[in-house]
Structure 1
Amino acid sequence: MIKRKWKDTNNVLIIPGFKYEEAAIKYGLFIAKNRRPFKPSKYIAFYSDGIIRVFARIVSVLDDVDLIHDIYPGTNIPFIDYLRIRDAGFVKSLASGERKTIFILDKIKPCSPIVDDSSKKTGFIHTRPKYTTIDKLLRSSFTSQLDDKNNQKSSSSTLPDHPDVKSSSKSLKPLKYPELESPDSESVTKTFSASFSPSELKRLDSKSLDSKSSNLKPTDEQEEIIKRFGDGKNILVRAFAGTGKTTTLKLLTLTYPKRRFLYIVFNRVAAESARKTFGSNVSVRTIHSLAFGFMKDKINVSNFVNNYQIPNIADTLGVDYDYARAVKIIFDEFCYSNVMEIGDLDFSLFFRDNIDLLSLVKTGAISIGKALRYTEQFYRKMEDGKIPVTHNFYLKQFQRLGMADSVRYDAILLDEAQDSNLITYDIVNRIKGQKVVIGDRHQKIYGFRNSLDISGRFLSDRAEEMPLTNSFRFHEEIATLANNLLSTLKAERIRIRGVAPHRSVSNKAFITRTNAKIVEIISWMIRNNDWKTVRDPRELFKLPMSITKLFTNPRINYEIPADLSFLERFKRLDELEEYARDVNDIEMMSAISIAKRKSSVIEKCFLKAMDQFNLENARVYLTTAHTSKGLEWDEIHLSDDYPNLFKAIGRRGGIPRFIYMQNKGESNEIEDIIEEINLLYVAVTRAREKADIADIENSDTLFSGDIKRIVEKTMLEIDDTQKE
Structure 2
Amino acid sequence: MQRMREARHMQFTHEQEPAIRSLARIIKLIAFAGTGKTTTLVGYAQARPQARILYLCYNKSVEVAAKQKFPLNVTCKTAHGLAFGAVGTKYKHKLGNLRLTDIARAINSQNWELVRSVQETLNNYLASADEKIGLFHFPAEKLQNERMRRAADSIVEATRRLWAQMCDVNNHATPIPHDGYLKLWALSKPDLSTRFDIVLGDEAQDINPVIAGLLAQQAAYGMGVVVCGDGHQMLYRFRGAVDALDAPWLADAEVHYLTQSFRFGPAAAHVANMVLHFKGERRQLAGLGQPTRIAKMLPKDLEHRTILCRTVVGVIEAALAWVETGAKIFWVGGIEGYNLQDLEDLHALSKGWRERIKGKKLLQDYPDYDQYKDVAFESQDSEMTRSIKIVEQYGKNLPELFAKLRRNAVTDELEASVTLSTAHRAKGLEWEAVQLAEDFSFEPFDPDNDPEAWVDEMNLLYVACTRAMQVLAVNSTVLVIMQEFVDRRDGRKPDAPLAFQKKAPAAA
Q: TM-score, normalised by structure 1?
A: 0.57
Write out per-residue CA displacement over residues 490-533 of structure 1, whole angstroms, 9 at most, x where no aligned residue: 12111112222259964211111122223333333332222323
Closer/same/farther in 2, CA of residues 567 and 415 from structure 1, 3 Å limit: farther
Closer/same/farther in 2, CA of residues 611 and 325 from structure 1, 3 Å limit: farther
Write out per-residue CA displacement over residues 232-265 of structure 1, whole angstroms, 9 at most, x where no aligned residue: 2522211111111111011111112222222211
Closer/same/farther in 2, CA of residues 618 and 320 from structure 1, 3 Å limit: same
Contact 1:291–1:395 under 8 Å retained in 2: yes
Pairing partner for 1:429 from 198, 208, 216: 216
Contact 1:288–1:391 under 8 Å retained in 2: yes
Pairing partner for 1:451 from 218, 241, 258: 241
SS of the aligned residue for 1:511 comes to strand
Name 1:657's counterpart in structure 2: none
Higher relative contact order (CA 8 A, sep 6+): 2
2:238 partner amino acid: F
2:70 partner amino acid: F
Name 1:53's counterpart in structure 2: none
Pairing partner for 1:263 from 55, 58, 65: 55
Name 1:500's counterpart in structure 2: 289
Name 2:185's counterpart in structure 1: 398
Sequence identity of aligned pairs in percent? 26
| Alpha-carbon offset, residue 301 of structure 1 | 5.9
Closer/same/farther in 2, CA of residues 291 and 541 from structure 1, 3 Å limit: closer
Pairing partner for 1:278 from 28, 52, 70: 70
SS of the aligned residue for 1:674 comes to helix
User: Aligned runs of 1:24-39 on 2, under 5 Å?
Assistant: none
SS of the aligned residue for 2:64 comes to helix
Contact 1:485–1:702 under 8 Å retained in 2: no
Write the distance in 2 (CA, Å) between the matches of 1:524 and 1:505.
17
Name 1:246's counterpart in structure 2: 38
Matched, 1:674 2:444: no
Closer/same/farther in 2, CA of residues 254 and 711 from structure 1, 3 Å limit: farther
Write out per-residue CA displacement over residues 295-321 of structure 1, whole angstroms, 9 at most, x where no aligned residue: 47xx73654514334444445554448
Name 1:47's counterpart in structure 2: none
Which structure 1 residue ranges, 5 or more long, are not aligned?
1-208, 353-357, 653-668
Write the distance in 2 (CA, Å) between the matches of 1:609 and 1:283.
38
Pairing partner for 2:338 from 527, 532, 539: 539
Write out per-residue CA displacement over residues 43-76 of structure 1, whole angstroms, 9 at most, x where no aligned residue: xxxxxxxxxxxxxxxxxxxxxxxxxxxxxxxxxx
Write the distance in 2 (CA, Å) between the matches of 1:520 and 1:475.
31
> What is the Cα-based RMSD across aligned positions, in Å?
4.1
Contact 1:516–1:540 under 8 Å retained in 2: no
| Alpha-carbon offset, residue 594 of structure 1 | 5.0
Closer/same/farther in 2, CA of residues 378 and 589 from structure 1, 3 Å limit: closer
| Alpha-carbon offset, residue 646 of structure 1 | 3.0
Matched, 1:376 2:175: no
1:627 partner amino acid: R
Matched, 1:481 2:271: yes
2:335 partner amino acid: D
Contact 1:237–1:439 under 8 Å retained in 2: yes
Contact 1:517–1:590 under 8 Å retained in 2: no
Closer/same/farther in 2, CA of residues 344 and 589 from structure 1, 3 Å limit: closer
Write the distance in 2 (CA, Å) between the matches of 1:237 and 1:505.
37
Matched, 1:628 2:409: no
Write out per-residue CA displacement over residues 178-204 of structure 1, whole angstroms, 9 at most, x where no aligned residue: xxxxxxxxxxxxxxxxxxxxxxxxxxx
Write out per-residue CA displacement over residues 274-332 of structure 1, whole angstroms, 9 at most, x where no aligned residue: 23322232222212223344447xx7365451433444444555444836555444333
Name 1:58's counterpart in structure 2: none
Matched, 1:644 2:442: yes
| Alpha-carbon offset, residue 219 of structure 1 | 0.9
Write the distance in 2 (CA, Å) between the matches of 1:236 and 1:252.
13
| Alpha-carbon offset, residue 375 of structure 1 | 2.5
Write out per-residue CA displacement over residues 607-640 of structure 1, whole angstroms, 9 at most, x where no aligned residue: 2222222453301112221222222221111122
Closer/same/farther in 2, CA of residues 689 and 338 from structure 1, 3 Å limit: same
Pairing partner for 2:121 from 302, 309, 330: 330
Write out per-residue CA displacement over residues 199-247 of structure 1, whole angstroms, 9 at most, x where no aligned residue: xxxxxxxxxx9999652121100112123x31x2522211111111111
Closer/same/farther in 2, CA of residues 303 and 246 from structure 1, 3 Å limit: same
Closer/same/farther in 2, CA of residues 615 and 411 from structure 1, 3 Å limit: closer
Closer/same/farther in 2, CA of residues 593 and 627 from structure 1, 3 Å limit: same
Write out per-residue CA displacement over residues 548-567 of structure 1, whole angstroms, 9 at most, x where no aligned residue: 7788x777966897599698
Name 1:82's counterpart in structure 2: none
Contact 1:642–1:697 under 8 Å retained in 2: no
1:332 partner amino acid: N
| Alpha-carbon offset, residue 675 of structure 1 | 0.9
SS of the aligned residue for 1:249 comes to helix
Contact 1:639–1:696 under 8 Å retained in 2: no
Pairing partner for 1:513 from 310, 323, 334: 310
Write out per-residue CA displacement over residues 102-123 of structure 1, whole angstroms, 9 at most, x where no aligned residue: xxxxxxxxxxxxxxxxxxxxxx
Name 1:491's counterpart in structure 2: 280
| Alpha-carbon offset, residue 687 of structure 1 | 0.8
Matched, 1:387 2:171: yes
Write the distance in 2 (CA, Å) between the matches of 1:615 and 1:257.
36
Contact 2:127–2:208 under 8 Å retained in 1: yes
Write the distance in 1 (CA, Å) between the matches of 2:411 and 2:106.
41
Matched, 1:308 2:105: no
Write the distance in 2 (CA, Å) between the matches of 1:264 and 1:456.
18
1:605 partner amino acid: L
Closer/same/farther in 2, CA of residues 441 and 505 from structure 1, 3 Å limit: farther
| Alpha-carbon offset, residue 430 of structure 1 | 0.9
| Alpha-carbon offset, residue 690 of structure 1 | 0.6
SS of the aligned residue for 1:256 comes to coil
SS of the aligned residue for 1:601 comes to helix
Pairing partner for 1:341 from 105, 114, 132: 132
Which structure 2 residue ranges, 5 or more long, are not aligned?
293-300
Write out per-residue CA displacement over residues 657-703 of structure 1, whole angstroms, 9 at most, x where no aligned residue: xxxxxxxxxxxx51111111111111111111111114447536545
Write the distance in 2 (CA, Å) between the matches of 1:505 and 1:479.
23
Closer/same/farther in 2, CA of residues 423 and 681 from structure 1, 3 Å limit: same
Closer/same/farther in 2, CA of residues 397 and 525 from structure 1, 3 Å limit: closer
Closer/same/farther in 2, CA of residues 333 and 400 from structure 1, 3 Å limit: same
| Alpha-carbon offset, residue 428 of structure 1 | 0.9
Closer/same/farther in 2, CA of residues 318 and 234 from structure 1, 3 Å limit: same
Write the distance in 1 (CA, Å) between the matches of 2:45 and 2:20.
9
Contact 2:33–2:466 under 8 Å retained in 1: yes
| Further displaced range: 590-599 or 404-413 | 590-599
Closer/same/farther in 2, CA of residues 314 and 256 from structure 1, 3 Å limit: same
Greater Rg by CA:
1
| Further displaced range: 459-468 or 509-518 | 459-468
Contact 2:122–2:137 under 8 Å retained in 1: no
User: Aligned runs of 1:679-718 on 2, under 5 Å?
Assistant: 679-696=460-477, 699=480, 702-708=483-489, 712-714=495-497
User: Aligned runs of 1:489-638 on 2, under 5 Å?
Assistant: 489-502=278-291, 506-532=303-329, 533-534=331-332, 535-536=334-335, 539-541=338-340, 562=362, 568=370, 597-616=393-412, 617-638=415-436
| Alpha-carbon offset, residue 391 of structure 1 | 3.2
Closer/same/farther in 2, CA of residues 329 and 572 from structure 1, 3 Å limit: closer
Contact 2:124–2:137 under 8 Å retained in 1: no
Write the distance in 2 (CA, Å) between the matches of 1:713 and 1:673.
17
SS of the aligned residue for 2:306 comes to strand
Name 1:226's counterpart in structure 2: 20
Contact 2:304–2:433 under 8 Å retained in 1: yes
